[in-house]
Structure 1
Amino acid sequence: MSYFSFSRTTSLYQKRLAALLLLTGSIVSSHAAIYLLEPNNSNVLFAIDHFKTSTNTGGFYHLTGQLEYDKRAQTGNVSLIIPMNTLRTGNKAFDINLASADFFDIIQFPLASFVSTQWHFSNDKGRSGVTKVDGLLTLHGKTNPVTLTATKFNCYLSPIVKKTVCGGDFTTTIDRRKWDIRKYTLLGITEKVTLNIQIEAVRQ
Structure 2
Amino acid sequence: MNRLAGILMATLLGIAVPAMAANYKIEPLHTNARFTLDHFATSSNVGGFYNLNGELQYDAGAKTGAVDITIPLSTLDTGRSEFTKHLQSKPFFNVAQYPIMHFVSHNWSFDKEGKVRALRGQLTMVGQTHPVTLRATKFNCYKSPMNQSQVCGGDFEAVIDRSQWGINEYLTAMPASRYVKLNIQIEAIKQ
TM-score between the two structures when normalised by the length of structure 1? 0.83
8 A Cα contact 1:117 1:136, kept in partner: no
How has the CA–CA distance of structure 1 residues 113 and 30 changed in structure 2, closer, same or farther, with 3 Å as cutoff?
farther
Deviation at 1:117, TM superposition (A): 3.0
Deviation at 1:33, TM superposition (A): 0.4
The aligned counterpart of 1:175 is: 161
| 1:139 aligned partner, one-letter code | M
Q: Kindly provide the amino acid, as one letter, of the partner of residue 199 in structure 1.
A: I
Say which SS state the counterpart of residue 95 (structure 1) adopts. helix
Given the alignment of the two structures, is residue 197 of structure 1 paired with residue 170 of structure 2, yes or no? no
Partner of 1:58: 47
Return structure 1 stretches of 4+ with deviation > 3 angstroms: none
Aligned residue in 2 for 1:16:
none
1:80 match: 69
The aligned amino acid for 1:140 is V
CA distance 1:158–1:103, change in 2 (3 Å)? same
Query: In the TM superposition, what are the counterparts of 1:72-151 in structure 2 within 5 Å?
Result: 72-124=61-113, 128-151=114-137
CA distance in 2, matches of 1:155, 1:54: 36
SS across alignment from 2:147 = coil
Equivalent AA in structure 2 for residue 78 of structure 1: V
User: Which has the greater radius of gyration?
Assistant: 2
| TM-align CA RMSD | 1.1
Letter in 2 for 1:192: Y
Alpha carbons 1:35, 1:67 under 8 Å: kept:
yes
Q: What is the CA–CA distance in structure 2 between the aligned matches of 1:120 and 1:50, rounded to whole Å? A: 33
1:24-43 deviation line (CA, Å, top 9, x unaligned): xxxxx870000000011111
Identity value in percent = 49
- TM-score, normalising length: structure 2: 0.88
